[in-house]
Each structure stands twice: as C-alpha cells, then as structure tokens.
Structure 1
Amino acid sequence: MSITISVLPHKEQALFRSALKLYETRQYKKGLKTSEQILKKFPSHGESLAVKGMFLAHMDRKEEGYENIKRGLEINPKSSISWHVYGLVCRNDQKFLEAIKCYEEALKADSDNVHILRELSQLQMQTRQYNKVVETREKLVKLNPTFPSFWMGLAVAHQLTDRYDLALKVVNAYEDSTKQDNTFDPLQMSELLLYKNWLIELSGDYQGAIENLKEIRSHVRDITAWKEQKAKLLLKVNRKEAAAMAYQDLIERNPENNDYIVGYLACNGLDMTRTEDQDAALEVLEGLQHQFPSSNRLRSAPLIFCNGENFIKAAEVVAKHALRKGIPSLFSNMRSLYADEAKGAALGRLIESCATQIRDTKRFSDSTEDESPLVLMWCDFYLAQHSDYYGDYERALSLIEDAIRASPDTVELYMVKAKIFKHTGDIRSARDTMDFGRHKDLKDRYVNSKTVKYMLRNNEIDEAEKAFLVFVRDDAPHKLQELCDIQATWYMRERGHAYRRLGDLGRALKQFHQVTSSFDTYQLDQFDFHSYSLRKATLRTYVDILKWEDTVYTHPCYVDSVKAAVGCYIELFDLKQAGNPFQLVPVTTDSKPLTRNTAAQHGHQNISAGVGETKVVEVDKDLTGATYVNADDHMVEALKLIERLESEVGDQPETHILAFEVHLRMKKYFLVLKAINTLRGINAEHPALPSMVVRLGYALDADESFAAPMKAALKGQLSKSFGDTSIEQSIETHGDSLAFAIEGSKGLLALGGDTNVAKAKAFLLAAPLERYGTTRTLLNLQEVNQLLAKCNISDSERAEFAASAKQVFPLATCF
C-alpha cells in the first residue's frame, strides 16, 4: 500500500507506517493499538481513522470498522489511502463492485499508484469487466514495464475481448524486452510460448502458427500439448497426411484419448456421424486396433456410428472382452447407446446369447476353451441392468439374485440390486440392500457414499450422518461442520430434500443454502488466480478456469438446490398467509466452543485470524434454520434466488414457473406475465402454461387495489396471446398426458374453493389409469400421491389410489 501521509509529525508518520506493516503481517490487535496511539494525539486524522476501521473490520467488528472508515473519508474525502483502505475492506467482504468504486476514487488522488492499479485489475477480472481491465493493465505496463505479470495480464485482457492481434503484439513486445534475460524460468517461458502460439491460432493465421511451433519446439517443456497443437493445426490447413502422422504419434502416447481418434479419422476424410463413412471408418479403426490391441476406446469406438451387422460384430468384441475381464462398468459404458432403440435391443439379444452359450457349453461359440464360471455371473449382471432399463423389474431382480448367488461377495451386485429396488419404488429395500453391500467393504468411500444417499432418500437422516462421519477425520473438532468444510454438496442437497419431505423447512433451507454457499466459495476461489496465474505464466489454464467459473452456477446440484430452496420459501409464505406459520423443530444437540489456536491445530478450514491471536471460533449455532424461517419477507429471499436462476439457467422451464409463483405472491403482475411469456417462448406446449394463465386472470380479478387501466392492459394481453384458456379443457385436450393432469390439478388447488379441489381430486385419482400409458412414471405417481394429501381425500379413496398405483408399480411401497 502506497503511503502519502499528510499533517502528521515524524514520530506519528513512523507509527502509521508501522500500523500498515502490522496489517500486512496480519497482527490486527497490535495494529489497532498503534492506530489508536496516533488518534490519541490527532483524533481528526482521516487516514488513521480509516486504518483503525480496517483493523476493526478484520477483528469481526465490521460495523464499527465501516463507521471509522467512513468518518475518516468525511474528514479527508480526497485521501488515496482512505479510499484504498475502504476498497480493501469491501474486497475482503466480497463486495467487489463497491470495492472497484473505492479503488477508482483512490486513483483520482494517486493515479500512478501501482498497488492500487494492480488490485483494481484483479477486481475487474473477478467481475468480468474486460474492457476496463485492458485500460488498467495498459497503465500498469507503462508505469512498470519490467514486471512480467503486467504484460501477461494485458495479453490475457486483450484475448478476452477478442482482440487477438493486440494480445500478440503485447506478447511479442514482452519477448523482445526479455531476450537478454537468461534468468527467466524455462517452464514459464514454455507456457508463454505455447500461449503465444494459441493466440496466433485464434487470430486465424494457422500457417503462421505452424511455423511458430517449429521455432519454439526446443523451448517447450509440455511436449504433449505441443504435439496436440501441431496435429490440430495441420488438419486445419488441410495437410491431412502430415496431420495423420501427428495424430498417429499422439495415439501411440495415449490410445484411450477420443479426440486423437476423431482427429485421425478426420485426417482420412471421415466423420463418425456420417452414415456414408461407416465402412471406411470401421476399416481405419480396425487398423488402429491391430496396432493398439489393449485400447478400450478403439475397441468401443465403432459402436457409436455402426449399425446392423457391423454394430453387432463390434459390440460382441467389446462385450466378450469385458465379460472375460469382469468389468462391472460394461452396462454403464453401453448405456448411451440405448438411446437408439435398435441398438439397445441388439445389445440385450447379444448378452442373452452369450449367457446361453456359457450356460450350455461353458464357452463362447467362437472359443475352444471353457470360460470362467464368473463370466455367466457378469452376463446376469448386465442383463439385470438391461431389464431394469426397460422397466422389467421382476426379471431384473431375478437375474441379479442369480448373480449374487454366484458371487455373494461382489459389492457391485448389491449396488445394482439397490438401484433396481429404487426404480420399483421400494426405497426401504434399496437402502437395506445398499447397506448390506457396504458392509462387504467398509473401506470403500464410494459405496459408503451411495449408502448414505439411499439412507437420506429413505429419510433416515441420523443414520446417514453416522455412516457419512465414518470417513470424516477423527481429529475434526466439529464433525458436522466438517461436512460443510469438505463441501460435500451432494450430501447437503440430499439431506435438504430429506428434511423437506419430513416437513422441517428450516433445516431444509439450511442445507440448501449450504450448497449455494459452497458454490459461492468455488466462484470466489478464482480471485487469487488473477495474480497467481500471471506470475506463473500458466495463461492457457487460467483462461480455461475463467470460462469454467462462468458456468459454475449452472451445475445441476446448485440449480436443484436453489429451486428446492425457492419451493421452501413459497411453502413458508403460504403457511404464514394461511395463519399457520411454520414452527421450528427444536435442537437436541449443542456444540462446544473452541479457540482459534485449538481449531487451527486440528486443521479447521473456516478460520481466518491474526497471527498468534486467540479467539473463539464462530461455530454455526443456527442448526434449525431459524435465520431463514424468521426472515422478514420470504418472497424477497426467494426472489434473490430466482434472479440467479434467471441469469444462469434462464433456458430451463422450471426457472420461469418458480418466477411465476414468486411474482404472483408479490403481486408483481407484469413480471408474472413476463414469466408466462418466457415459458411460452421456451415451450409453447408446456403443461404448466394453461394453469398459469388462468391463475393470473383470477389474481387480477381478485386484486381490487391494482390500478384498473393496468389490469385491463394485462387482461387484454392475456386474451390476445392465449384466448379463453381453461384448465379443465387443457387436461381433456391432452387426455393421454399425466403431466397436463398434474399441472392442471396444481392450478386448481392453487385457485382454491370446494369445486376446484373436487375437480383436482378427480383428475389425480385417475392418474394410474391405462389411458395415461408411459407417462405414468414413478415420479409422476409419487407427485400425485403428495398432491392428493391437499384434496381432503378419504381413507377409502387413498386405498383405492394406492391399489391402482400398485398395478403400475407392483413392488412399490411409496403409495
């Protein structure tokens, strides 16, 4: 931090510098005393007040800290130091946009401060303000042209704004300035040269990139990356013979890499997605298989594009190899092929044939030697999964039982049996089977995790916790907190869903917010790489990280947790509106506090304190989720999550269905209409649309406080876009779709009234009927079962529905 101290005598200036040094070494208590020492003599010194506030903010006295900083700025609003301090505190609190404003104010008073400019560029990268990053880093290069990371940062900034020619000029200028520097790290130089070659490629000069590759060959340490780039560039300039040799070389290095195989085929003018290339591609692949007989990827590649006899021939080679080797993942590897109905059926017939041959003759038809008895077991194992895929659960269970009898100690068999039980709707048997399998190998983390998931699906939260904690380190001071620290997001999500099914909305929200917090941490973790990657010159990887971070919030675990959290907030709001607010489930356990030093000795991850300072660790005491349940406005909290969904997964229909639910409760009718229209744009035939339109119309009619002209405009727009929409009519029009019946029933229940509830009940009770065909999935019928609970259903009607549902899923225990 640059120091420009005004007004202070020499002694206090020394104390001020000392305070800043103490901040850099994280000695916050000593730093606070030093700043207070200055303020005793000069209580109106703005910079000292700001520095004092900075120390307070880092000692968990944030409110007091911000007050001191703001008071210091009032005294001296043009102080670069005070604005810099304010920016540091905001950055520490992840208020990046506010921090940027502070740094910009600091630069008005000290425009050439390298430290401020460098930190500002990092904040601009974090917030993806790439054009501003270019301006900031150009200034850094001018101020300090001998600092390598400034040049690297400017090149990356130009690349991210698609100005590859300027990025190349920056890299070339930097190379020219370091030609006489023999101290440059060879690994960093290698990375920089490969990055430069990438920029040449991105600029469209493929021939120039090839020439550059030849020049840098002797300086590059990452030989695989160099060879990959060479093969790719040769193919781009249509030098197919040379490219084929390059890809052949790569395949020799790694015959399991699919990109190399696809590239090699492309060099021969072949594309696996084109039917007319099938025979030629198969011939090329057979040649490669002959050279690399151990390659699983080459062996299975023909399955992607072959059909008919060629497919069966290729599948037979893959299947017999896997059956002999006892590879449990055979079905998982083949599963994607089942999207083609003909291929799925052919695979079933092939394995049936193999099983028959082994059962009758103990060998395959093309073999002269007897196979191991376990080959038949692996055949049954595959066929059980095949039958499970097609919904033939009784046969699947019979086959997996045969496999278990043949090899009772093979854990994978119990995992598949548990999965079959799950698909039948018998989650209790699935849990018991998985737990039995777990005890076959208690040291297997994956099997343990699968067991925990099944326990949570069966709402056995305490049992799941005990099983999960088996693999938490013994010296963890707070084992439950450790589950959050290791960011086991799948566990938090499943636990949240279990609490929600049990009706404990507080704890459910707690879990879902812990998932979102973990993803926020992933996003924040990139901040340090804005400086580290530039120092180490790992620019290619750095750009990949930035692109990955831009999609981190689209991860299914995050999206599912956010949607579930919004659902919980909606339930809390509805309960409160109905005069029956949710009551928190009391805590039955409590945690012991411990000091920072004690926790640090045990490797606790959530501790950030001054060096050598002892303080009580902030253990999360809100185990019931009271913070979320007692929020002032549940819809405001839900809206924050909706905004994130709209920005990250706005192409998913459920995002706008949830937005509709939230905006309707907040009486933001224009936003409700926007949600309807957006959903219509994604899928004009979505089952939820009719009920959404009707509910908006009802809400407008019922809200007398809404301005008449705006109400008329909205109703006119609804009429113009959707006409006279009726929930009952939409269900009848799509009489063979259970999804329309479910969504329509939800709409009727939301409208309320005895008549609408009775209609919804009638539609729901008819869900197991034959007319709904394949739309009668287990998930759909489970949802119907939950909705019936809101229909004042009698015991006899409940029993009738359960009996009808069991005709569709005879082994289910969830109705």
Structure 2
Amino acid sequence: MSRALPKRNPLPSKEASLFKELLTLYETRQIKKGLKTADLILKKFPDHGETLCMKGLVLTHMNRHDEGLELVKKGVRLDLTSHICWHVFGLIQKADKNYEEALKSYTQALRFDKENLNLLRDSAQLQTQLRLYEALVETRHNILRLRPNQRQNWVALAVAHHLNGNPKEAKMVLEHYQRSLKNVPNYDTEHSETLLYYVNILEEVGELSEALSVLDTNSKSRSIVDRTAVLEIRARLLTKLKAPEADEAWLALIQHNADSYESYRGYFQHLGIPLEQGNKEALAKLEEFATQLPKATAPRRLQLTVAAVDQFESLVKPYIVRNLVKGVPSLFADLKSLYADKEKQQIIETLVESLREEYASASTSSALTSSSGESEPTTYLWTLYYLAQHYSYLSQPEKALALLDIAIKHTPTLPELHICKAWTLKRSGDLLGAARCQNDARLLDGQDRFLNTKFGKYLLRAGMVEEAISIFGLFTKKDAASPGADLEDMQSLLYLLGEADAHKQNKKLNLALKKYMAVKKVFDDFEDDQFDFHGYNLRKFTINVYLKLLKWEDQLRSHPGYVKAAIEASKIFVAVADDPSIVTSLTSSNQMTDAEKKAKKKAKKAAVKAQEEKKTTQPAAADKDMDPPPPKDDDPDGIKLLSCADPLEQAAKLLHPLVTLAAANVDAWIAIYDVAIRRKKLLQAVGALNKAVALNPDHPELHIRLVDLKQRASALPQQPPAPIGAVFIDALSKLVPDEISLETLNSQYLQKHSDNPEAVLAAAKVQAMLKVPLGAVEGTVFALSSGETGQGEKLATNIRTASSALDFLISIQSSRSDEFRTQCQANYPLSTIFKTPTELAPLRDQVMLGSSSSEGGSEEVTP
C-alpha cells in the first residue's frame, strides 16, 4: 500500500494575495518585481514549495539558471502534490529542450489538476514533438471535452487521429465538426483549409467520389479559396476514378500554370504516354501545347528530352537561338541534363559552334537582329558564354578559357564571364586562380551581395579563411561578435561547411570539427523550432502545410548538409581516437607568439571600448531579463571539443540518424563501420559493411575496410563470445572468404579496376596496410601520375585523386613524393594544388588584388 502524500498548508490571505500577484508579475514579464514579491513570501514561509518554484523560474529568466533550477527542485520536493510546482519544473525542462522529462513533469501536474487547459495544451505539444501519437489522441480528447465550442480543438483531434495512423477516425471527427458549423462566411481561409484537409482525408481512406463531390461543391460555393489546390486535387481524383473528365481537368491545370513541369508529367501519366526519348505520341502532344501556349517554355523544353536524335536538331535550334537572342544566362544549366545523351551533346556543340561563326561575322557588321528587327549585339557574347560553359563541363578547360578571353575582351564588365572563368579554373584545380576571377566579378559591383558571397565561397575553397570572413563581413551585422558568429546565427550552411572544409584542408582539425558540429547544432535547432508550430498551425488552421512540416522534420537529417557534416566530423573523431597525439600537437601549435598576444590584447581592448561607446549612444532598453544574452563561447578554438574524453561515442551519436535516413549512402555506412569497429561493436561493424557491399561492392573505400576488418578479426586474442562470435565469423567469411589471402584479394581488386584511379589508390593503401615493400607501394601510386588514368569528364576527379595520392605518399614518408608532385603538375598544368607553399604564397597575394581584366569595373563600395 502506497504512502499518502503530505497535505499542503495553505498560505494566509495576505501571502496568498502576494502569490497571485507573483504569478501576474511573471506573466507580464515584470521579473525584478516578481523576485521581490517571492522574497516577501519566503521571508515568512521559507519552505513554501510553490513560491520557491516561482522564484526559481524567475531566476532562470535572469540568467541564473543553475541557481533557479536548484530552487525549483527543492520546491517540488517540499510540495509533491502541487500542479504549480510540477508545471514550473516542466517549463524549465522544456526551455532546456529536455522534452521527455518535461512531459513527465506535465503528466504529474495533470494528476493534481486534470482540467487545466494550459497543462493539457503544453502536454499535447510535447507529445507531438516526441511523436507519441496515441497519448496525443487522449490529450486532444480531453481538451475537446473541456472546450467543445472552439473550432481548433475539433481540428486538432482530427489531426491527432490522422497522425496516429487512423484517418477514418479523423474523417468522423471532421464530419461532426462540419455539422456543428453555422453561418460560415465566404472566403474564410481557415474554413477553406479545413475543407481541403477533409478532402485529403477522404482521398486517403479511398472515398474518391465523396472527395470529388466535396471539392466541387465547396469550390463552387466559394468555401474553398485556393484555386491551384482545387485544380491539382481535382485532376488527381478524376485520374484515380478513371473519369472521362480527367483530360479536361489536367488541361485546365496546365492552362492555369503553363510552365509547371509537374502538370505536364501528371497529364501524360494519366494518358499512359511515357515521357521518354523517341516517343512520337508524346512529341506530337507537346507540339500541340507549344502551339497553343506560345509563351510557355515547359512544352518546348520537354520536347528536347522526348525527341529522338533525328528530330532533335530541328527542335533544339530554335530553342537555343531564342534564348541566346534574349540573353538568358541560365541556358546551359537548362540544357545540361541533355548531355547524358552523347549524340544530343554533339548536336548541340556543332549547332552552337556554327551559330558562333554566324554571329561573329554578324556582330562585326551590325547585321544581327532579333525577330522584331531590333539589333542584338549581345547575342554573340551569350553564344561565347554558352560554349565556354559547355567546354568547361566537358573538362576541356583550354577551349573554355580561350573563349572566355574573347568574351571578356568583347565585354569586360559582364560578371557572368568572370564567374564562368572561375568555375573553369576550379574544375582544373586552380583554386587560387578561380578565387581571383571571382574577385574580378565582384569588383564590377562591390555592393552586389551575390558576387561578394560567391567570392567568399571561393576563398574558403582555396583555404583563405580570414580573407573570406572579411568579405562576408561586408554584409553581416556590424554589432555581431564577428562575421562568422553572425553567419552561424543565421544558420548559413554554405558558410559553415565551407569554412569547415577550409580548416580541414589547412590541417586545423580542431577548427574544422567546431564548424562541423555547428552544422549539427543548426539541425538540432531546426528540430527544436518545430515545437512552437504544433500550437501555431492549429490556431491558424494551416493544417496541410503543418502535416508537410512534420513529414519534413521526420526526414530532417537526410539533408546533404547534415550527412556531410556528420561523416566528416566522425572522421576527425576517429582520427583522434586512433592518434591522441593530434590533440597535443594542435595544442602546442596553437600557442601564440608575443606579437600575436599583443595584437589580440589590443583588439580585445578596442572591442570593449566600442561596446561602451555603443551603450552610451543608444537609448536605454526595456527590461530584457526574459531574454538572457547568448552564452559565451568558452572553446573558441575547438580544442576542448577535439580533446573530449569519448570521441567515438560522439561520432556514434552523429552517425546514428544516418542508419535510417541515409541508408543509400555508401560513405555513411563506411563511416559507421569505422566508429563501430573501434567501439568493439563487431556485429554493427559487419552489418555496416554488408550494407555497403549491397550498394556498391567495388567501392574503393569499402575495399580498404574489408581488409581492415579481416586484419582486426585476426588480431583478436580470442573468438567473441556466443552468440555474437558465430554470427560474426560467419558474416566475415562471406565478406572476405577464408581461402583467399589478403594479398591475393588486393591483387585481384587492382587488376579488375586498373582503369579506376580511386581504386588504384585504394589498392596502394591496402599494400601499405599489408606491409608490402615501400617500392611496390610507390610503383602502384605512380601509375596515377602517368596521365593514363582517364580523360574528359574524369579530369577533375583525377586531380582530386592525385592530390589524395600525394598526401598518402607524404603520410608513408615516401622519398619520391616530390617526384610525384612534379609529375602531377606536368599532367595538370593549370592546377595549383600540387605547388609547394613557397610557390603558392605570391598567388595568394594576387587573389585579393584581382586581374587586370577588372580594371573597367567600379570600385568596391562597402554597403
């Protein structure tokens, strides 16, 4: 039998009035007055739990979190039957993003105040955040029972049933809700959204005819006001019903937005006509659309995808000419997907080259005219621009750069030409030259945010972090701690990933890890930010968008930005776990010289002085106790993060979401293996490699890990205990057969993939793992510098692989690394990747100055 909880002694009337005043002061954000009021009560009743909790809550808003939390815990212990104590405890836990514990506190509060609407609403939001949909349904039922006259409570219950996988119950709730409505005005957007949601529910449960009837009735009566949604849903429903009116519905949708590719795809899917190359029926239909909708681009572009090679030239020529005459810079991006077909690619190249010759002679005689008869002297320029992008994409940089030189001489003030030149040099391995060309583009218009941002991005790619931050600082808040801090606050993944990669390139693993973990924090914030929308969307009746939000949040960490950051950060954690001396060396290299210390001290004094001047010039702000200042960064260099006690555990947490959300990513499974095998999670490690083998059995990094797994298994002092041991040994024998030695396995892999530079490098790394003589390893690596590892599209990949090979030779202390560097430089003459630091220094200096080609541009103007 459980022990009865002690009874609470109520406060006398005077203190009870003060306590009510305390609650009001907190709700109206009068924090300092609230603290004084709490102290008045506690002076006479120091063990009053509710007052202690309220004082603790007030202190947490005064940036005294730890002190406040201790008071709240003490208050809860003194009054376990008070819903106020548990509610306050839940509020603090919720603010700390500890949603599971916050929900437990709210559940306790509801035991003692079952009909408290605030508690119920907050509990519902927490249950949605934690995806506890069964409990959510019960909570929403209770709210509706208490407030059946509020429309949002009916909709909220329907959404809860829907999220819980019971759309039929959601349908019944919505029908009951609609029967209770009276005198709903026309064009009521809240009611319109609810009706659209009801139609979607009917479609989901399979009542298509009813859904169509509801949609048609309410759209005609002006109850549903979203015309685009009506057209889309109507076309979809009629197609599912196989109704004859479906043709008309799709055509109406296309007429509504003639450039929506999805509408055309839906129409052709309804007709059963695949939009694939060589389909004459599809081509004829698209020709009809192109005639009927002369201003629409979509049908003409789809024709190019569908047309067979013999019809392609007659269709692509007017499309290209039209866009060149209009001066559409994105023409190449539009047509790039057609290059998958080599014949179409060759047709485009021949066509544009002939147009170039035609326009070159026309531009000199001023005879080039548009369809309206007006002179178009820029058409030749845009033709050169297209061809430059074309050859750059095909990894023919010499041709691209020659064309760009002609174009820049023709019109030196067009930023797109310098951007294209930068793109070409980047693909050729000249990162510093690419950044210099981006600077040329930027100097043409110093106030253009896009051009400045693009330049900053290229500076990061070239490893020039400080210069990039100074460029980004032209457009960040002037009162921010630093441009980087402001960009991190703005959750700029471009900046965070770019700077992290730059620090990694510069061998500053601590700073790289800090930025990768900042990306992780951005996604944590995305996840936390949805919390407020659980109540907001239901109040505003934006239900359909809200459901899309929840679906998007469930897939949040499948975003390429998170996947990359998690994999790269895990690699750093693994490197530190393998070699703890990395932290020691970074710590010692982080020691500043006397001159650097003086400069830092001087900068700190200047920053303090600027803040003081700002305080004196700005008017006094209102009481901001509710909004504490951002926490101070006590690890600006990332050394503490890098030297954490459990790097492998940190890496495992980062990679855990990728198990389900990046299941098709081989690199993710390889990263998961690297962490699991070091944590002695043998089955998890084998499982990761099995997944990788299923995706790409010949992946170079996978080959290295298979040999690594076999070596680690052989080095085990004893077989793993049952039942793990038998399963592990069986799985290992399937991945790497016992009858094949690792030397033979590697030799077979090298022979099979001798034309793949990444595979050759992987084989060389395995040779080093197997203690093969250094000369043999060097011989394998030097095959990459022979210039026979690929041509054309593989050029950029080969540059990266050659750079990785050079790093590998340096890591094994090869005496031939300088020879390899020289050969690579000869193979890729445009690249600066293989230059020594001494050779790179003057090139770095030139980046910020720009080229002589930008002399005609305007001077930079700081915004």
TM-score by shorter chain over 0.5: yes
State the alpha-carbon separation in 2 of the partners of residues 593 and 147 from structure 1. Answer: 55
Structure 1 residue 481, shift from structure 2 partner: 2.2
Aligned to 2:129: 126
Match of 1:742 among 741, 744, 761: 761
8 Å CA contact 1:688–1:744 kept in 2: the answer is: no
Match of 1:652 among 640, 662, 665: 665
User: Given the alignment of the two structures, is residue 505 of structure 1 paired with residue 519 of structure 2, yes or no?
Assistant: no
Structure 1 residue 756, shift from structure 2 partner: 6.6
State the alpha-carbon separation in 1 of the partners of residues 185 and 651 from structure 2. Answer: 56
Q: Which moved more, 1:801-810 or 1:448-457?
A: 801-810
What letter is aligned with 2:255? E
Aligned to 1:36: 39
Structure 1 residue 136, shift from structure 2 partner: 1.7
What letter is aligned with 1:216? N
Please list, as runs of the form range in 1=range in 2, the aligned pairs for 1:541-620 lying within 5 A after superposition: 541-576=545-580, 580-583=584-587, 585=590, 588=600, 590=604, 592=608, 611=624, 618-620=631-633
State the alpha-carbon separation in 2 of the partners of residues 54 and 595 from structure 1. Answer: 30
User: Given the alignment of the two structures, is residue 519 of structure 1 paired with residue 523 of structure 2, yes or no?
Assistant: yes
State the alpha-carbon separation in 2 of the partners of residues 350 and 495 from structure 1. Answer: 41
Structure 1 residue 678, shift from structure 2 partner: 2.8
State the alpha-carbon separation in 2 of the partners of residues 614 and 578 from structure 1. Answer: 39
Structure 1 residue 18, shift from structure 2 partner: 2.5
Residues paired across the two proteins, number: 800
Aligned to 2:457: 453
1:387–1:601 CA distance, 2 compared to 1 (3 A) = farther
Please list, as runs of the form range in 1=range in 2, the aligned pairs for 1:359-378 lying within 5 A after superposition: 359-360=360-361, 372-378=376-382
Aligned to 2:214: 212
State the alpha-carbon separation in 2 of the partners of residues 703 and 50 from structure 1. Answer: 55
What letter is aligned with 1:726? L
Please list, as runs of the form range in 1=range in 2, the aligned pairs for 1:403-422 lying within 5 A after superposition: 403-422=407-426
State the alpha-carbon separation in 2 of the partners of residues 34 and 745 from structure 1. Answer: 74
State the alpha-carbon separation in 1 of the partners of residues 236 and 652 from structure 2. Answer: 46
Aligned to 1:346: 347
Match of 1:726 among 729, 742, 749: 742
Match of 1:188 among 187, 190, 201: 190
8 Å CA contact 1:426–1:813 kept in 2: the answer is: yes
What letter is aligned with 1:347? I
Please list, as runs of the form range in 1=range in 2, the aligned pairs for 1:235-254 lying within 5 A after superposition: 235-240=239-244, 242-254=245-257
Match of 1:443 among 444, 447, 467: 447
Counterpart of 2:790 in 1: which secondary structure?
helix
State the alpha-carbon separation in 2 of the partners of residues 499 and 695 from structure 1. Answer: 28
State the alpha-carbon separation in 2 of the partners of residues 338 and 259 from structure 1. Answer: 22
Which one has more relative contact order, counting CA pairs under 8 Å at least 6 apart?
A: 2
State the alpha-carbon separation in 2 of the partners of residues 79 and 381 from structure 1. Answer: 73
Q: Which moved more, 1:755-764 or 1:340-349?
A: 755-764
1:580–1:574 CA distance, 2 compared to 1 (3 A) = farther
Match of 1:676 among 680, 685, 689: 689
Q: Which moved more, 1:171-180 or 1:448-457?
A: 171-180
Match of 1:639 among 624, 635, 652: 652
Match of 1:64 among 67, 73, 84: 67
Please list, as runs of the form range in 1=range in 2, the aligned pairs for 1:311-350 lying within 5 A after superposition: 311-350=312-351
1:302–1:711 CA distance, 2 compared to 1 (3 A) = same
> TM-score, normalized by length of structure 2?
0.86
1:396–1:34 CA distance, 2 compared to 1 (3 A) = same
Aligned to 1:800: 819
Structure 1 residue 28, shift from structure 2 partner: 3.3
What letter is aligned with 2:456? V
8 Å CA contact 1:596–1:617 kept in 2: the answer is: no
Aligned to 1:308: 309
8 Å CA contact 1:738–1:780 kept in 2: the answer is: yes
Structure 1 residue 393, shift from structure 2 partner: 1.3
Structure 1 residue 645, shift from structure 2 partner: 2.9
Q: Which moved more, 1:593-602 or 1:112-121?
A: 593-602
Counterpart of 2:785 in 1: which secondary structure?
coil
State the alpha-carbon separation in 2 of the partners of residues 675 and 748 from structure 1. Answer: 23
Structure 1 residue 414, shift from structure 2 partner: 0.7
User: Given the alignment of the two structures, is residue 779 of structure 1 paired with residue 800 of structure 2, yes or no?
Assistant: yes
State the alpha-carbon separation in 2 of the partners of residues 544 and 614 from structure 1. Answer: 31
1:562–1:68 CA distance, 2 compared to 1 (3 A) = same
8 Å CA contact 1:595–1:615 kept in 2: the answer is: no
Structure 1 residue 151, shift from structure 2 partner: 1.4
State the alpha-carbon separation in 1 of the partners of residues 677 and 110 from structure 2. Answer: 46
Q: Which moved more, 1:217-226 or 1:768-777?
A: 768-777
State the alpha-carbon separation in 2 of the partners of residues 194 and 498 from structure 1. Answer: 48
State the alpha-carbon separation in 1 of the partners of residues 730 and 485 from structure 2. Answer: 54
Aligned to 1:83: 86
Structure 1 residue 593, shift from structure 2 partner: 9.5
Aligned to 1:73: 76
1:149–1:696 CA distance, 2 compared to 1 (3 A) = same
Match of 2:180 among 148, 168, 177: 177
Q: Which runs of 5+ in 2 are unaligned?
A: 1-6, 593-599, 835-863
Structure 1 residue 323, shift from structure 2 partner: 0.6
Structure 1 residue 185, shift from structure 2 partner: 8.3
Q: Which moved more, 1:560-569 or 1:575-584?
A: 575-584
State the alpha-carbon separation in 1 of the partners of residues 144 and 591 from structure 2. Answer: 59
8 Å CA contact 2:453–2:472 kept in 1: the answer is: yes
State the alpha-carbon separation in 2 of the partners of residues 600 and 243 from structure 1. Answer: 69
What letter is aligned with 1:525? D
RMSD between superposed Cα atoms in Å? 3.3
8 Å CA contact 2:429–2:832 kept in 1: the answer is: yes
Structure 1 residue 113, shift from structure 2 partner: 2.5
8 Å CA contact 2:304–2:312 kept in 1: the answer is: yes
State the alpha-carbon separation in 2 of the partners of residues 471 and 600 from structure 1. Answer: 25
Structure 1 residue 713, shift from structure 2 partner: 6.6
User: Given the alignment of the two structures, is residue 384 of structure 1 paired with residue 388 of structure 2, yes or no?
Assistant: yes
1:305–1:537 CA distance, 2 compared to 1 (3 A) = same
Structure 1 residue 767, shift from structure 2 partner: 1.9
State the alpha-carbon separation in 1 of the partners of residues 239 and 616 from structure 2. Answer: 54
8 Å CA contact 2:563–2:668 kept in 1: the answer is: no
Structure 1 residue 431, shift from structure 2 partner: 0.8
What letter is aligned with 1:692? R
Structure 1 residue 63, shift from structure 2 partner: 2.8
State the alpha-carbon separation in 2 of the partners of residues 391 and 552 from structure 1. Answer: 35
Aligned to 1:146: 149
1:449–1:706 CA distance, 2 compared to 1 (3 A) = farther
Task: Deviation per CA, 1:686-730: give whole Å up to 9, x if none.
Answer: 333333233233334445488677668744542344213526333
Aligned to 1:622: 635
Please list, as runs of the form range in 1=range in 2, the aligned pairs for 1:465-544 lying within 5 A after superposition: 465-474=469-478, 476=480, 478-544=482-548
8 Å CA contact 1:765–1:801 kept in 2: the answer is: yes
8 Å CA contact 1:355–1:380 kept in 2: the answer is: yes
Structure 1 residue 210, shift from structure 2 partner: 1.6
1:5–1:542 CA distance, 2 compared to 1 (3 A) = farther
Aligned to 1:358: 359
Structure 1 residue 327, shift from structure 2 partner: 0.7
1:47–1:726 CA distance, 2 compared to 1 (3 A) = same
State the alpha-carbon separation in 1 of the partners of residues 613 and 159 from structure 2. Answer: 41
8 Å CA contact 1:53–1:64 kept in 2: the answer is: yes
State the alpha-carbon separation in 2 of the partners of residues 596 and 664 from structure 1. Answer: 54
Task: Deviation per CA, 1:710-762: give whole Å up to 9, x if none.
Answer: 6687445423442135263333443332222333444455x486x47665444
Match of 1:666 among 679, 702, 727: 679
1:211–1:296 CA distance, 2 compared to 1 (3 A) = same
1:758–1:677 CA distance, 2 compared to 1 (3 A) = farther
Please list, as runs of the form range in 1=range in 2, the aligned pairs for 1:221-240 lying within 5 A after superposition: 221-240=225-244
Aligned to 1:765: 782
Q: Which moved more, 1:556-565 or 1:90-99?
A: 556-565
8 Å CA contact 1:475–1:602 kept in 2: the answer is: no
Aligned to 2:49: 46
Counterpart of 1:814 in 2: which secondary structure?
coil
Aligned to 2:830: 811
Aligned to 2:841: none
Match of 2:203 among 201, 209, 212: 201
1:758–1:667 CA distance, 2 compared to 1 (3 A) = farther
